[in-house]
């Protein structure tokens, strides 16, 4: 799973390489930005906000951006846009820089069905789960897995584990896994 706090892998808009300077061929990075509005008039364009609070436009050079997300999920206000190997295009004096998704690369752009803050929170939790021998404790009561019984993983995301049906019900409804399960699945689809 990715470490969303790593600025080398997840740079903010102002940390992106310029489109004029070719990036290192082996480096992989992803721009994460929350969709604020769809400004498509002549060219598919969304206005987004990154982790530093910078607002900028993302344009799709090869056609419509709607429905490019995984599983037919459409880009929606409040969701998080994931642009692999994004570069910042400076457009000259008096004009704001933008991110252009070049022709043929639009299908690589994905979305996470959650706001940027929620994505970072889930990322921190996932990093903690993996760092602590992933899934060795019940997500609801904290009971540790033992030799005589094993924890049951959520069938949706496969990450969160529970010791009993009662804990699974509590985790789903009271502890918020219902809202996070779909996001965790999307994260796994992109970075597993």
Q: Would you say residue 4 lies in a domain?
A: no
Asked if 81 and 142 sit in the same domain, the reply is no
CA-wise closest residue to 43 among 106, 88, 108? 106
Question: Could you tell me the two tokens for 51?
Answer: 């982790």
Q: Would you say residue 170 lies in a domain?
A: yes
Asked if 46 and 80 touch (Cβ cutoff 8 Å), the reply is no
Asked if 6 and 12 touch (Cβ cutoff 8 Å), the reply is no
| Structural domain containing residue 178 | 132-191
pLDDT in tens, 83-121: 999 999 998 888 999 999 988 888 888 999 999 999 999
Residue 162: predicted pLDDT = 93
Bridging pattern class, strands 80-84 and 88-89: unpaired
Q: Is the pLDDT of residue 25 over 80?
A: no
pLDDT band for position 130 (cuts 50, 70, 90): low
pTM for this entry: 0.85
Q: Which residues 6+ apart lie within 8 Å of 148 measured at CB?
A: none
d(CA 56, CA 13) in angstroms, rounded, equals 8
Asked if 110 and 30 sit in the same domain, the reply is yes
Asked if 128 and 98 touch (Cβ cutoff 8 Å), the reply is no
Give the CA count within 13 Å in the CB-facing half-sphere of 137: 11
Q: What CATH number is given to the structural domain containing 68?
A: 2.40.50.140
Q: Which residue among 114, 140, 170 closes a domain? A: 114
pLDDT in tens, 146-172: 878 789 999 999 989 999 999 999 999
pLDDT band for position 185 (cuts 50, 70, 90): very high
If one counts the domains in the chain, the total is 2
Asked if 103 and 143 sit in the same domain, the reply is no
Residue 131: predicted pLDDT = 53
CA dihedral 67, 187, 121, 23 (to 10 degrees): -90
pLDDT cut 70: percent of the chain above it: 88
Asked if 27 and 57 sit in the same domain, the reply is yes
């Amino acid at each position: 799973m990715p470490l969303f706090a790593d600025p080398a892998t997840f740079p903010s808009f102002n940390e992106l390489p310029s489109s004029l300077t070719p990036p290192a061929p082996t480096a992989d990075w992803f721009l994460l930005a929350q969709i604020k509005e769809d400004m498509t008039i002549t060219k598919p364009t969304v206005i987004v906000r990154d982790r530093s609070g910078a607002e900028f436009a993302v344009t799709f050079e090869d056609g419509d951006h709607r429905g490019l997300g995984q599983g037919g999920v459409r880009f929606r206000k409040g969701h998080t846009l994931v642009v692999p190997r994004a570069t910042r295009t400076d457009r000259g004096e008096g004009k704001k820089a933008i991110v252009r998704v070049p022709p043929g690369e639009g299908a690589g752009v994905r979305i996470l069905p959650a706001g940027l803050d929620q994505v970072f929170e889930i990322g921190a939790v996932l990093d903690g789960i993996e760092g602590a021998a992933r899934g060795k404790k019940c997500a609801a009561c904290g009971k540790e897995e033992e030799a005589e019984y094993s924890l049951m993983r959520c069938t949706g995301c496969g990450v969160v584990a529970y010791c009993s049906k009662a804990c699974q019900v509590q985790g789903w409804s009271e502890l918020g896994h219902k809202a996070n399960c779909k996001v965790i699945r999307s994260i796994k689809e992109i970075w597993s």
